[in-house]
Structure 1
Amino acid sequence: MSARLLLAIVFVLLALPARAHKPSDSYLTLVTDGMAIDAQWDIALRDLDFAIGLDTNGDAEITWGELRARHEEIAAYALPRLAISTEGRACPATLTQHLVDDHTDGAYAVLRFRAECGGPFRVLHLRYGLFFDLDPQHKGLLRLEYQGKSTTAIFGTEKASQEFSLAAPSRLTQFIDYVGEGVWHIWIGFDHILFLVALLLPAVAYRFRQEWRPVDAFRPAFWNVFGIVTAFTVAHSITLTLATLGVVNLPSRLVESVIAASVVIAALNNLYPIFSERRWMMAFAFGLVHGFGFASVLADLGLPSDALVLALVGFNAGVELGQLAIVAAFLPLAYALRRTGLYRHLLLTGGSLLIALLAGIWLAERAFDLALLPS
């Protein structure tokens, strides 16, 4: 049973990242004065292309001309999938502008529209249904602004309809919202997950005469993992904070390429060890770069100016909770299987090879702007 559970966890983790970029998200910003709503909706071009076909000549590139020619179809597809109402009154949306913008994971169509609600309101109801019929994992990330205060939420198939009060959200509610977003984004940050998995795979073993041998007790394995996770946490918390506060910023392409390279190096280190006993040093060094990756996600979410520190701490706490969930699921099962050939050969050796191969493809994609895996 332990073998089957661990195999399931590892293969699910390895099967998730079929592409280098993060899964499908859209970004919806609503600004209201309590009478009407001005909105901006950023939707990934790759998702729209899958839904309605933007790449008319089939060259795997979406040009501005192709996008402009489909503006009406994009609006006709997206706007009916967002229903806005207030206290029993519908708020019909009128499109005002089409734009295009770049996010950390590619180009996005930008729809700006205004929704008139026919009178003052204090409660806003939203029903979100974009792409759910095509991708049940799609998420809509909302930021609602009223009188300088921000409320955030995540729409998914399980929470497609939500209600929001214009009363200022409590600090606790904002904190919990950003904790949830941190947990969600570590789970969809497949490169971060595989970096952590690559570091954890040999945690229940030690190197002796050029081969991995199982540890005799749980205690050394636990402290090994504790050192790795602590070093990674401290490092990425430092750069996440610095980048979010605008103290240090690095080009997104460089950051994403180095993150992919870190996964390759961590996986190959299991096969040809350089840091066999001090993997925490690798976790810390590359964790500094991973922090910039987390910061780009937090920037995409939109930070409330009135609660910047609260959002930063909540998001980082969510990331840590997501990491701990991975460790809590992985370590006990790995320890139970550490003496088996299944673990040493299939999971430790084979898993590391597979991680290195996949991350190597990501590295080529990110460094040279290629599309080697399906989007």
Structure 2
Amino acid sequence: MNGSPNSGSGCNFAPWSDPKEKPLIRFDAVTKKFGDFVAIDNLNLKIYEREFFALLGPSGCGKTTLMRMLAGFEQPTMGSIMMRQQHLTDIPPHRRPVNMMFQSYALFPHMSVEQNIAFGLKQEKRPKAEIKDRVEEMIALVQLQAFAKRKPHQLSGGQRQRVALARSLAKKPKLLLLDEPLGALDRKLREQTQFELMTIQEKLGTTFVIVTHDQEEAMTVASRIALMDQGKLVQVSTPREIYETPNSRYVADFLGDVNIIGGHILGPDDKEDDIVQLAWHEDYAPLRIRLPQPVSFPEKGTERWVAVRPEKVRITKEYPTDTHNILKGKVLDIAYTGNISTYHVETEDGQIIKSQEANLEHLHRRAITWDDEVYVHWRAGGCVLLER
């Protein structure tokens, strides 16, 4: 995240936390059915001006249907969609202050870059001078001045993507919808383009809503993420919150890699009043989890789960003395991905725990390797207690 007004970390941009702030878009009890199939199920959501908002989830979760309703290509079966104080359902797609950038880009192959960008403005019969100025502004924004006369087939994938973005923004929409906009790009170009999108969105202040199944993309560009499953919102939070404090096993497992251990609540720790103990195996010490403030202890005996990210799990050959959550095991596998190594450790009770470490030096010889007996351990504040 880059710390811009649209990023979810290290900044003051958080209109959703201000009760006085009015949302730009509001979904009120929206349901969308296709025959007997419920694509969107009684959904409530607020999106604020200047947000870079991500709709994230697996195929079939309803995120594209939600975007199509914003664009006007689908209508809610029940409920309402508001933009400020206006019902969007009463406005046909071509009259909405909304534009959409498709995954395929949908550029006109016989038109040049500048003609593609000017197309929507000409359809609205804007003055020629205004069209010329706006096209030049958009071409400069996406840094394609040297390619203004070229046709789409003479451009790279990344350049075509920028033309499509410029065309979508030319009419100054209040809301821009991006449907898997970077899916056709290779990984390195996609990562570069993500930051370009963020810079452009910040410069213009236009509200962006992006549909993606790529969790890294959503985490990089979004001010907030709405994670969806089976037509429902599972969690709506900033990237940092949704990663560090997921509200369910589904969220924890969908966003990034995670270790999840189930058990039953024993009660508070004897020495620290913000730590709860979880009994997970009769032969091992209970796990300790630090609870967020204000502390609310679950009832003794209730079923709960601990989620801990692999990067928060340390792995050592020696028994650690400065932490509580300690499991003994054997290295089953090691995944080397360049910048990090992921150790798969099988504990004595058969659990597979993953631990990640940064590769800070060249790995001529690993300190820990396959079949080594090791300890995996993490601090009470490095894990999260989940209710479901």
Asked if Structure 1 and Structure 2 have the same fold, meaning a TM-score greater than 0.5 normalized by the shorter chain, the answer is no
Question: TM bucket by the smaller chain?
Answer: under 0.3
TM score, norm. by length of structure 1: 0.25
Highest CA radius of gyration, 1 or 2?
2
Higher strand share: 2
Relative contact order, CA 8 A, sep 6+: which one is greater?
1
